[in-house]
Amino acid sequence: MSAKVSIVIIDDNKSVLEFLADALSAEDVRILAAADPEDGLDLVFQEHPQIVLTDLMMPGLTGLQVLDRIIEFDPAIDVILMTAFWTTESAVAAIRNGAADYLEKPVRVAVLRERIKKLVDEARRQNRGDALERQLLESATFEGMVGSSAALWETASRIRRVARHYRTALITGETGTGKELAARALHNLSPVSKGRFVVLNCSAVVESLFESELFGHVKGSFTGAEKDKMGLFEFADGGTIFLDEIGDMPVGTQAKLLRTLQNQEVLRVGSLTPRKVDVHVVAATHRNLHAAITEKQFREDLYYRLSMIEIRVPSLAERKEDLPLLTRYFVEKFSTQFRKEIRGLTQRAQIVLARHNWPGNIRELENAVGHGCMMALGETIDLQDLPEYLWASARNSARLFDLSEENAISFEDHEKRLIIDALEQAKWNQSVAARTLRIGRDALRYKMKKHGLDTPQSGNAAAS
């Protein structure tokens, strides 16, 4: 059974409120009502309804002010304004400000039900779409690679076909596309899947230590070699070694790697006795190896040895249709990691993501969504929660947010500071502070307790 569609009705006339609630009552619709616009906003922030029906002229806040707060909170919520003082100008202004509709009082029940029915049907379609997207996410994951695009599944199909037969393979693609995931997929589907999967980032190894790192050394073979050391090829015996960024490997080491691939044996530095190994080798690079061969920076014979099987991982720009699935995947990942209830992105945040070119590919998207999950105080990620460079073109030199443990801790400090600032501005009135932060009072109280803010920090009395 599908979830009920929630409707919040705000009107300072209680008899009108009861009339509207009764007129819209239905088995699959949940009606929430408030006679005070402040209380109505609290309901919106706490319950996150799909539809809000609000009077225009009310004491405290006008319907347009309520509309502005709701649009700021989540522009995907459909807001209908009602007024006995209908004018064409006010109706146009309301629609321009983001209202879904504008009705004249006294509202005719048939008209109201017709308008609401269209919005309810749309909300149900959205709910079904979300459910289908979750199901699609479960079925559109191949060995950790998420997507349903033709470009990605062509890569997945190639991996499936060659995994049981390859001895060496070359994976190409731009930085951040997921080449290591492709390498792990090859390993997991290969006959050596029960063996180790050993990773070496060639761009991170000092040139003088490359040979020892790969093949090992014997005691006394060079200064500092105080005991025998096993190399990564021996450590990966019976499994797979993944040589990431193979284009950064020194040419001298490339020659020794070629001999190892041809003979399936390694020679430790300083040793005269070769050792047999049974290792599958997957190399990856974002560089143009043909150009590197021309420039004498990469051995042509090693390239042909590795590229008997070549698998290209597409860029995110080539599989833009996978963006919604990838975004949902990362939202679920980070909301679990950060222990926050994030249900998705607002429409305007989704538009910003869709318009971006993603030069950093999946890794850039992962960092952007992770940043959004960290910064969001409510249930949805909005524009201001995303990295600034995504939505402020004038300041596009800003760097991606670092998702390290240290910065996760600094996020906690950031959240605490925001909450204290909002409480102090509201003179420790929790309802006002919650509205400022665009969260419900219960969520604010939870965060106050988490940060030890149960009592005022400045001597003011807290109010609920």
Q: Which of 237, 235, 243 is nearest to 281 (CA)?
A: 243
Query: Which of these ranges, 211-225, 340-354, 378-392, 436-450, has the smallest mean pLDDT?
Result: 436-450
Sequence-distant (6+) residues with CB within 8 A of 41 are 61, 66, 69, 70, 435
Q: 162 exposed, middle or buried (CB, 10 Å; 0-12, 13-18, 19+)?
A: middle
**Does 450 have pLDDT greater than 60?**
yes
Sequence-distant (6+) residues with CB within 8 A of 213 are 200, 205, 231, 232
User: DSSP letters along 15-31, please?
Assistant: HHHHHHHHHH--TTEEE
Average pLDDT over residues 211-226: 86
Q: Which of 355, 335, 354, 352 is nearest to 343 (CA)?
A: 335
In a domain, 456, yes or no: no
Query: Which of these ranges, 65-69, 155-159, 234-238, 327-331, has the smallest mean pLDDT?
Result: 65-69
Whether residue 393 contacts residue 356, with contact meaning beta carbons closer than 8 Å, is answered with no
Average pLDDT over residues 65-78: 83
pTM beyond 0.75 = no
**Does 403 have pLDDT greater than 60?**
no
In a domain, 354, yes or no: yes
The answer on 87 and 9 residing in a single domain is yes
Average pLDDT over residues 310-331: 94
Indicate the DSSP class of residue 296: T
The answer on 308 and 176 residing in a single domain is yes
- Strands 265-266, 78-83: pairing kind: unpaired
Does 42 or 392 have the greater pLDDT score? 42
Query: CATH code at 247?
Result: 3.40.50.300
The answer on 80 and 19 residing in a single domain is yes
- Name the band, by pLDDT with cuts 50, 70 and 90, for residue 8: very high
What is the model's pLDDT at position 395?
38
- Strands 78-83, 51-55: pairing kind: parallel
The answer on 301 and 155 residing in a single domain is yes
The answer on 304 and 167 residing in a single domain is yes
The answer on 324 and 271 residing in a single domain is no
Q: What 3-state DSSP class applies to 420?
A: helix
Whether residue 69 contacts residue 45, with contact meaning beta carbons closer than 8 Å, is answered with no
In a domain, 145, yes or no: no
**Does 70 have pLDDT greater than 90?**
no
- Measure the CA–CA gap between 388 and 397, rounded to whole angstroms: 9
- Name the band, by pLDDT with cuts 50, 70 and 90, for residue 281: very high
Query: CATH code at 421?
Result: 1.10.8.60
Write out the two tokens for 326: 């990838």
Average pLDDT over residues 278-284: 97
What is the model's pLDDT at position 72?
77
Query: Which of these ranges, 9-23, 126-140, 387-401, has the smallest mean pLDDT?
Result: 387-401
Write out the two tokens for 62: 């006008």
The answer on 204 and 177 residing in a single domain is yes
- Name the band, by pLDDT with cuts 50, 70 and 90, for residue 378: confident
For the chain, count helices (H), then strands (E): 19, 18
What is the model's pLDDT at position 137?
63
In a domain, 459, yes or no: no
The answer on 175 and 239 residing in a single domain is yes
pLDDT in tens, 233-261: 999 999 999 999 999 999 999 999 999 99
The answer on 156 and 289 residing in a single domain is yes
End-to-end CA distance of the chain: 36
Write out the two tokens for 185: 């997929």
Question: Tokens 């569609």 sit at which residue?
Answer: 5
The total domain count for the chain is 3
Domain extent for 362: 319-450
Mean pLDDT of the chain: 84
**Does 404 have pLDDT greater than 60?**
no
Does 212 or 422 have the greater pLDDT score? 212
Query: CATH code at 34?
Result: 3.40.50.2300
What is the model's pLDDT at position 133?
62
- Name the band, by pLDDT with cuts 50, 70 and 90, for residue 456: low
In a domain, 457, yes or no: no
- Name the band, by pLDDT with cuts 50, 70 and 90, for residue 433: confident
What is the model's pLDDT at position 251?
93
- Measure the CA–CA gap between 298 and 261, rounded to whole angstroms: 16
- Name the band, by pLDDT with cuts 50, 70 and 90, for residue 173: very high
Given 312, 340, 361, the domain boundary residue is 312
In a domain, 464, yes or no: no
What is the model's pLDDT at position 266?
93
The answer on 208 and 303 residing in a single domain is yes
pLDDT in tens, 287-304: 999 999 999 999 999 999
Given 250, 282, 312, the domain boundary residue is 312
Share of the chain above pLDDT 90, in %: 44
**Does 193 have pLDDT greater than 70?**
yes
Sequence-distant (6+) residues with CB within 8 A of 352 are 383, 386, 390, 391
In a domain, 163, yes or no: yes
What is the model's pLDDT at position 367?
96
The answer on 171 and 110 residing in a single domain is no
- Measure the CA–CA gap between 276 and 237, rounded to whole angstroms: 9
What is the model's pLDDT at position 461?
40
What is the model's pLDDT at position 95?
74
Question: Tokens 């070549």 sit at which residue?
Answer: 310
- Measure the CA–CA gap between 238 and 342, rounded to whole angstroms: 42
In a domain, 463, yes or no: no
The answer on 217 and 154 residing in a single domain is yes
Sequence-distant (6+) residues with CB within 8 A of 355 are none
Does 15 or 416 have the greater pLDDT score? 15
Given 312, 335, 358, the domain boundary residue is 312
What backbone phi and psi angles, to 5 degrees, belong to 55? -70, 155
Whether residue 83 contacts residue 104, with contact meaning beta carbons closer than 8 Å, is answered with yes
- Name the band, by pLDDT with cuts 50, 70 and 90, for residue 283: very high
- Measure the CA–CA gap between 416 and 387, rounded to whole angstroms: 20
